Amino acid sequence: MKNLISYSDYIFEHFHNTEFDNVVKTLSDLCVSSILNAEETDGEYIVLQELEIAEPDLDVDVRFLLRKEKDISLENDSFFKKMNWQHLKLDKHGYIVTGNVFMTDGNIPEIEITLALDSNRLNKDLLKKLYLNLTNTISHELNHLKQKGWNKDYQNIDPSTQEYRKKNNKSYSYFLLPEEIESMVYGMNKQSIKQNVPIDELFDKHLDPFVESGFMKDSEKMQVIKKWLHHALKMYPNVSMSNKYSNIIDNI
């Protein structure tokens, strides 16, 4: 992929990237610049960008969807209406971002990144936070591509069956699926490095809206935290941690 003029170079100091990181960086830069140039939407999502990636060991089609409106509401939103935790995130941050991977036998896989944004709150601080979330989300979804299909990396975890994923999709146990632990911690580790914050701080920020919305209990959140901490320390020995969960870490 040709590297674009980098939004990230404007808000972050330069650091060494792998080829995989360069793909994430380029996609995040493209998304943010496209959001800035996008017109207001009218209750529906527009296709912000569509592109094909053909890199060594990585073939994928990527699509960004955007809803950008003043005082945006998710009450009748086609993507986020039933996700109470996303309503909380939008109220708090002024934007939400999520991703999905679509893989079918014999076809190039697709990644779809969906964003909703309150244009009244659009400023440099929001864009910086959004960029960091995009780094996390895109890294997460690209990691899923390494678990199955065209881009399979046999060092990665094999995903659960669709039946098992569906069974756990509406419970905190979704966050304990082996493939989700791998991809969630992978994405948050990338954000932790870029943002220079402890990874457990990102764990909390990701999970707290699910507790606040009633999707999971605080005790269930702690089960997830323990699993994520264990995976992070195993896979990323130099990962940055605070002292908040030192009692758990000391017993791993």
The model carries a pTM of: 0.90
Per-residue pLDDT band for 241 (boundaries 50, 70, 90) equals very high
The two structure tokens encoding residue 80: 């986020």
Indicate if 107 and 5 belong to the same structural domain. Answer: yes
Identify the bridge partners of residue 102 per DSSP, sorted by sequence position: 110
pLDDT of 8 over the 90 cut: no
pLDDT at 9: 43
Same domain, 7 and 114: yes
Residues 78 and 176 in one domain: no
Q: What is the mean pLDDT of residues 183-193?
A: 97
The more confident residue out of 245 and 12 is 245
pLDDT above 90: percentage of residues in the chain = 75
pLDDT digits (tens, 9 = 90+) for 157-168: 888 888 889 888
**Angle at which helices 178-195 and 218-235 cross, to 10°:** 70
Which helix (H) or strand (E) segment holds residue 136: the answer is helix 124-145
Q: Are residues 233 and 163 in the same domain?
A: yes
Q: Name the domain boundary from 111, 128, 148.
A: 148
Q: Which domain holds residue 97?
A: 1-148
Same domain, yes or no: 138 and 168: no
Claim to verify: residue 172 and residue 105 sit in the same structural domain: no
Segment 205-226 shows an average pLDDT of 98
Last residue of one domain, picked from the residues 116, 148, 180: 148
- Is 37 in the same domain as 161? no
Within this chain, do residues 125 and 51 fall inside the same structural domain, yes or no? yes
145 or 115, higher pLDDT: 115
CB-CB neighbours of 4 under 10 Å: 12
On whether both 8 and 78 belong to a single domain, the answer is: yes
Average pLDDT, the chain: 90
Q: Is 54 helix (H, G, I), strand (E, B) or coil?
A: strand
Q: Are residues 92 and 172 in the same domain?
A: no
Do residues 172 and 217 share a domain? yes
pLDDT reading at 3 higher than 50:
no
Average pLDDT over residues 17-36: 90
Domains in the chain, number: 2
